[in-house]
Structure 1
């Protein structure tokens, strides 16, 4: 009898866990469509670091969608799989929406844009490549956070133009750079095929971190480099002479 009761308890707990909602962080780029798991009768929230401007969904008759600041709330109205594209000022996020009754569905998903390029390594030393140009421009995100544009190089093998930056922090408390965004624009529109990586995301007083912006090699005209961190924003123009 005890064995039977124990088995029933394990079975019920397994059933509850299988159907419980979950919270997770999802890294997204433009290489792959990510799957979002939904459940009938439940609302799921996608929380973006950028404010969504527009959504396109494959089958809008079977989904309820609502914007609340940086959140996108989804609720399935039928058991229909479809695709979803979310447009923000600088990125396009792609998802596959799946409705399931027995899986662990998504209650809340923190959506982060993660560059498809490999992170910089601490010990990595960049050799000057063809097209090396020293820049020496700088700007401040606030009085404690300084950004120096060190140099530009070209990488013909990957058809990329590289812009190297050095970030210095002079504040007292630890600084989290995980929310830092670097976007190259021209005429207010983001350049296509760009990406960026940051060497380390946590900085203490007087520590520095390297960052690198990637743009297509054929982009040889001047552009504006935009930087955001939380509510801080700054931009600087990189003239054409630095890209020759």
Structure 2
């Protein structure tokens, strides 16, 4: 009976004195603590080959390279930092050396990649217009749709068609948005061509910002020939 008690006691002491074998993940935003015991060596095992180490207080630590492992043996009860430069990442640790019963024997180290959040799908809100404007010069504008690309940022799609007998230079054509006879700020007009040949058309777009979802007026010019159309809030 006494023999079994003695063996049990020795087994309990052996477990208490044994070190830990654990796996940790290290990232660029986190320093992980390694628990060292005086008179014992601790192995850090990496998936990538360590190239260089920098120890904050190198006088109290003996560090050796063995393949993908780094062995660390403390020379005194000191706490410092350790940086391990691998093939692809830099690992940061806090070395805590003392007479710990729960020290680390072997630490398997892996890199913790940041979680990539899925990009949010942008739901484009498009409103069909089906409205048109005509000028005396027989240049017609067909308004197609207004699309909200992101909050308060829109694009107005339209087509121009030349019903006259002559080509029209796009430099003589202008379209812009106003509210209370004041031109809306931060708007940009683009065309798909430089000339509108007779009996042909081109596409155009107006990009614009709206701080308030309120109606506005589209001004349509060809030299001195002008027409306008109110676009109400229901199309925003």
In terms of fraction of residues, the more strand-rich structure is 2
TM-score norm. by structure 2 comes to 0.45
